[in-house]
């Protein structure tokens, strides 16, 4: 009998978490071997390692406790790796030397696969005087471009990258440029962006008051606060970025407010961290703790939840001692505060097993109750650890107990901390669990609703063929096993929920989470702008620490649709499947076209690009490309590119994705500045030429935009890319935004590392 609830779970384990030799030969022969490896490694710092190894193994068994992927993959391997997922780097000094020292630290951290967060508010705005060199500052966004290029270079070296988060205060003079930065489809692709929103700003928005943009005590501009808020909202509505972080609330509620100031988060936002802060993650699988699911007696085993939480806290505290760190400053920060981020996954599945619809009042109340139980157990366990091993070094009882979060904590918990101290400064967080939720049998991810009750993925076989495999949500599979098809009304998915249902669930969980929550609030494509803004205001008013939304549209793309034919679920949208192309279009005897000369800096010879068009139904569309150069070093790849692009063009449909793919190619040797814009490679420059041609003939609307005609009109054209972009790891379509990160449902790949 396999331990895995679904084939995809075993594939994820084999691909991501199974220990293998360099040649691919498995060392972990079973998932039990992987659990034993992790349990043994995390128990070695205990006085009685054998005792705790067995207890840790029991927590891991049957996917009840899910340490973050870096722990599952790295613990007990003997390899020099960090077991921490994400980092916030040190404060960036406002000097050239300091900036590039910070860049070096970021590169060293990303080389080990860590995602990083940075606050760029500390860099003087564009146009500010640079004393001593008779020059004006280029501003923080110019240095963000440098960070972006660094991340691409680390990727090109074969390293597993993490994502990057950039934050900027809402009163920085360059905030408007920051808000609009990613509207350029080729810029800052390695970054997530979030605006640090203050209480004073939210008050000014409500009063329609003026708002000063300032740096180092100097006011550069004064604008209407409400206008700036509307610009943030409009960018998020149209482009899904930037996100919003309520930074004053984070600092006011921080247990360590007496010892640190937070100005950034890790890439997905669930861990607000100080300079050099590191985030250590793990999740309790609530779906595995439900007894008698789908019956009137259904309940979550609270005694098991309490015991599992206490064991998980001890395991994660041991990770602080077992892990390596990319930088000594990160190790010192982790040891001084011993932060951990214990969260949950499978919440939506657990709720539906109890007959509760995600977002309904009963589900909101139950979520609050479960998160309270976890917080109680975690804090009591950490206090007991402090009695046994000592509190974290920076613990100060009076200041700690006076913090905003601790003021609401149960009195017996406060008494235990007053008596013994506490081992971990912060304990709870809800992180993205896209990959580990698949590994655990496709349970619902984090505190998100079920995204798709079922969908079909294409699985590549050893002989090169592809077979279809249905991937079913864990709770749906349990229901089918007991009751057959036809889901009850409590089964809802992300697309069928009102945005305010999402907000209510996030706010309920946040009450008992001392760090923050990674969550995406799915909004329908046709939501009005005012209703969209109301989502953010509700998140602010209900006590959330941040807000991230996703609205499918022509810019951000659509999302994978569910395929469960129940009354509560939408009907199948096969757009997420691979589209197989039909025969190519016939070539007329004569075609109209244009030839463009491209001179790439550093290249001896120019490249000439000829694009010929065909006319269909009165509209021109690209049909073939010819790329020529006198540089013989370019010969092979220009011929290959000519043939491949022309083959795609001749199949019809929306071929504008060719532009996106070319413009995303970067050269590890460096790109070049062309007409005031950084172009990362010759191939990206060719993509830009093809894009400008498509705009000129009216095939696409504008730079970075899709088809000029309404893509919703009529059926999908042959060859048109399906809704939901292709995964860079497995190539299958259907990448979806979940917990603030584009994630592949087929292989578990996440853009956030």
Measured CA to CA, the distance from residue 613 to residue 625 in angstroms comes to 9
Q: Annotated catalytic sites, by residue? A: 266, 268, 270
**Among 159, 147, 152, which residue's Cα sits nearest to residue 81?**
159
Residue with tokens 């921490």: 84
Q: Under DSSP, is residue 468 helix (H, G, I), strand (E, B) or coil?
A: strand
DSSP 16: I
The backbone torsions φ and ψ at residue 437, rounded to the nearest 5 degrees and listed phi first, read: -70, -35
**Among 668, 661, 672, 653, which residue's Cα sits nearest to residue 721?**
653
Is the CA virtual torsion 439, 441, 447, 448 positive or negative?
positive
Neighbour tally for 141: CB within 10 Å = 20
CB 220 within 8 A of CB 196: no
Residue with tokens 């309270």: 372
Q: Residue 470 is encoded by which pair of tokens?
A: 């249905």
CA angle 337, 513, 538 (to 5 degrees): 130
Sheet holding 65-67, edge to edge: 65-67, 281-285, 341-345
DSSP 457: E
Which letter, b or e, does each residue of 303-333 get, where b requires 16 or more Cβ atoms within 10 Å of its Cβ?
Answer: eebbbbbbbbbbbbbbbbebbebbbebbbeb
- DSSP for 479-542, please give it: HHHHH-S---TT---GGGS-HHHHHHHHHHHHTT-SS-B---EE--TT--HHHHHHHHHHHHHT
CB neighbours of 81 closer than 8 A, spacing ≥ 6? Answer: 70, 73, 74, 112, 113, 324
Distances in Å between the Cα of 753 and the Cα atoms of 144, 189, 269, 749 are 19, 14, 14, 8
To 10 degrees, the CA torsion angle through 159, 161, 167, 172?
40
CB neighbours of 638 closer than 8 A, spacing ≥ 6? Answer: 607, 627, 628, 629
Neighbour tally for 647: CB within 10 Å = 12
């Amino acid at each position: 009998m396999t331990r895995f609830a679904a084939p995809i779970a075993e594939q994820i384990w084999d691909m991501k978490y199974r220990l293998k030799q360099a040649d691919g030969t498995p060392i972990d022969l079973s998932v039990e071997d992987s659990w034993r490896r992790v349990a043994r490694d995390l128990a070695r710092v205990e006085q009685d390692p054998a005792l705790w190894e067995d207890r840790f193994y029991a927590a891991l068994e049957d996917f009840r406790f899910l340490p973050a992927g870096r722990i599952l993959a790295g613990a007990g391997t003997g390899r020099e790796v960090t077991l921490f997922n994400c980092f916030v780097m040190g404060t960036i000094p406002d000097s050239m030397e300091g900036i590039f020292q910070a860049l070096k630290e970021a590169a060293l951290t990303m080389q080990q696969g860590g995602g990083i967060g940075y606050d760029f508010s500390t860099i003087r705005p564009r146009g500010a005087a640079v004393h001593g060199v008779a020059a004006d500052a280029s501003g923080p966004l110019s240095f963000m471009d440098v960070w972006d290029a660094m991340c691409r270079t680390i990727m090109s070296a074969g390293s597993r990258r993490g994502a990057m988060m950039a934050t900027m205060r809402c009163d920085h003079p360059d905030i408007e440029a920051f808000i609009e930065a990613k509207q350029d489809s080729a810029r800052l692709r390695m970054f997530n962006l979030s605006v640090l929103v203050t209480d004073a700003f939210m008050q000014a928005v409500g009063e329609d008051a003026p708002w000063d943009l300032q740096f180092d005590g100097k006011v550069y501009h004064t604008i209407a606060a409400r206008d700036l808020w509307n610009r943030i909202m409009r960018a998020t509505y149209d482009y899904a970025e930037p996100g919003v972080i309520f930074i004053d609330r984070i600092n006011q509620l921080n247990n360590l407010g007496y010892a640190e100031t937070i100005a950034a988060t890790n890439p997905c936002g669930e861990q607000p961290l100080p300079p050099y802060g590191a985030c250590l993650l793990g999740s309790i699988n609530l779906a595995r703790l439900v007894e008698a699911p789908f019956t009137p007696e259904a309940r979550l085993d609270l005694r098991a939840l309490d015991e599992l939480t206490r064991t998980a806290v001890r395991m994660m505290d041991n990770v602080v001692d077992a892990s390596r760190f990319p930088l000594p400053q990160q190790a010192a920060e982790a040891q001084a505060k011993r932060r951990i981020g214990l969260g949950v996954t499978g919440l939506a599945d657990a709720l539906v097993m109890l007959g509760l619809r995600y977002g309904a009042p009963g589900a909101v109340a139950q979520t609050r109750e479960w998160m309270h139980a976890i917080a109680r157990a975690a804090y009591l366990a950490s206090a007991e650890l402090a009695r046994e091993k000592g509190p974290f070094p920076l613990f100060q009882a009076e200041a700690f107990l006076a913090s905003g979060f601790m003021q609401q904590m149960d009195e017996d918990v406060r008494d235990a901390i007053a008596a013994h101290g506490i081992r971990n400064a912060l304990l709870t967080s809800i992180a993205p669990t896209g990959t580990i939720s698949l590994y655990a049998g496709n349970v619902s991810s984090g505190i998100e609703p079920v995204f798709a009750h079922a969908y079909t993925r294409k699985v590549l076989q050893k002989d090169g063929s592809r077979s279809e495999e249905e991937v079913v949500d864990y709770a749906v599979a349990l229901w089918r096993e007991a009751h057959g098809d036809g889901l009850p009304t409590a089964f809802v998915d992300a697309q069928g929920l009102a945005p305010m249902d999402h907000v209510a669930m996030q706010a309920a969980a946040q009450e008992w989470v001392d760090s923050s929550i990674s969550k995406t609030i799915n909004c329908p494509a046709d939501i009005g702008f005012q209703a969209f803004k109301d989502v953010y205001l509700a998140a602010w008013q209900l006590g959330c620490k941040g807000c991230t939304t996703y609205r499918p549209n022509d810019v951000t793309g659509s999302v994978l649709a569910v395929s469960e034919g129940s009354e509560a679920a939408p009907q199948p949208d096969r757009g997420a499947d691979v589209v197989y192309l039909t025969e190519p279009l016939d070539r007329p005897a004569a075609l109209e076209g244009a030839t463009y000369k491209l001179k790439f800096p550093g290249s001896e010879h120019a490249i000439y690009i000829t694009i010929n068009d065909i006319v269909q139904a009165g509209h021109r569309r690209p049909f073939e490309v010819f790329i020529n150069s006198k540089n013989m070093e370019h010969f092979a790849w220009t011929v290959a590119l000519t043939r491949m692009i022309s083959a795609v063009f001749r199949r019809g449909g929306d071929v504008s994705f060719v532009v996106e793919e070319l413009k995303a190619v970067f050269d590890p040797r460096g790109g070049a500045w062309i007409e005031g814009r950084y172009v990362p490679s010759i191939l990206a420059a060719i993509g830009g030429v093809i894009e400008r041609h498509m705009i000129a003939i009216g095939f696409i609307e504008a730079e970075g935009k899709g088809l000029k005609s309404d893509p919703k009109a009529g059926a999908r054209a042959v060859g048109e890319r399906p809704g939901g972009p292709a995964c860079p790891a497995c190539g299958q379509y259907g990448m979806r935004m979940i917990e603030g990160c584009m994630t592949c449902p087929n292989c578990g790949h996440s853009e956030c590392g």
